[in-house]
Amino acid sequence: MRDLQIDVNLRGIVNGLGAALPGMVARGSGHVINVASIAGRIALPNAAMYTATKFAVVGLTEAIAAELHGSGVRVSAVLPTFVHTEMTDGLPLRGVPTVDPPDVALAILRLVRRGGPAVVTVPRWMGGLPRLAVFTPQMIIDAIRHGSSRPYEDRDQRRAAYEARVRGLLPAALTKPPEDEPPPEDEAPDR
């Protein structure tokens, strides 16, 4: 699944930028908005590859926005926290800020209509958290992360159903783990 996360979360953005930006730059106007995740600013335990791809998207967005400054073309990233969708079904999110899809859509529309910073979080108040983390003792950060890394329990099998549906949409070659990646626990061979 590592390669799939890189392909979807990062290469998808790179390919989209490659398709959209040349025409926008030639016209001298346009606005690309990449949807990333708050994981692009705050590392999530038990989601290292996901976090890495989202950090990459945020860095790419900021770099290209700086490169295109003054060209009439804007590049922004919207970083929602966990969004109430099928993708987050079954995840242990008690006590974690969550948003609904219309909240993300509204942030994107606001950015298109009014402009704003190159990176916008949803909810907006979460934008200051990465800056505060710089001044927070590591012991406190570890305690916060430990609270968000509860063992994953999919009591209603909602997450399992989502993952099975996604696997069914993909060619078999993409869902087979690479040789160096062990199979998930539920697919591990009996010993």
Tens of pLDDT along 71-98?
A: 999 999 999 988 888 777 777 767 778 8
Q: Kindly report the CATH number assigned to the domain that includes residue 56.
A: 3.40.50.720
Query: What's residue 29's pLDDT?
Result: 97
| Residue 59 is assigned to a structural domain of this protein | yes
Mean per-residue pLDDT over the chain, rounded: 81
Rounded-to-integer distance, Cα 163 and Cα 182, Å: 17
pLDDT of 181 over the 50 cut: yes
* Longest CA pairwise span in the chain (Å): 62
- The residues carrying an active-site annotation are 50
| Residue 191 is assigned to a structural domain of this protein | no
| Residue 189 is assigned to a structural domain of this protein | no
Whether the bond between 123 and the residue before it is cis, its omega within 30 degrees of 0, is yes
> Which residue would you say has higher pLDDT here, 92 or 25?
25
Query: What's residue 189's pLDDT?
Result: 45
CA angle 81, 131, 60 (to 5 degrees): 65
pLDDT of 150 over the 70 cut: no
| Residue 190 is assigned to a structural domain of this protein | no
pLDDT of 41 over the 80 cut: yes
| Residue 74 is assigned to a structural domain of this protein | yes
Rounded-to-integer distance, Cα 72 and Cα 39, Å: 29
Query: What's residue 163's pLDDT?
Result: 76
Q: Which phi and psi (to 5°) does residue 122 adopt? A: -130, 115
Q: Is the pTM of this model over 0.85?
A: no
DSSP alpha helix (H) spans, the chain: 2-5, 12-27, 48-67, 101-114, 129-133, 138-148, 158-169, 172-175
Query: What's residue 15's pLDDT?
Result: 97
| Residue 187 is assigned to a structural domain of this protein | no
Rounded-to-integer distance, Cα 133 and Cα 115, Å: 27
Handedness of CA 157, 38, 55, 47 (dihedral sign): negative
- List pLDDT tens digits, range 107-135: 999 999 998 899 999 988 877 777 776 76
pLDDT of 141 over the 60 cut: yes
Q: How many domains does the chain have?
A: 1
- List pLDDT tens digits, range 50-60: 999 999 999 99
111: amino acid identity, one letter: L
Answer for the pair 91, 82: CB distance below 8 angstroms, yes or no. Answer: yes
Write out the residue range of the structural domain in which residue 45 sits.
2-22+30-179
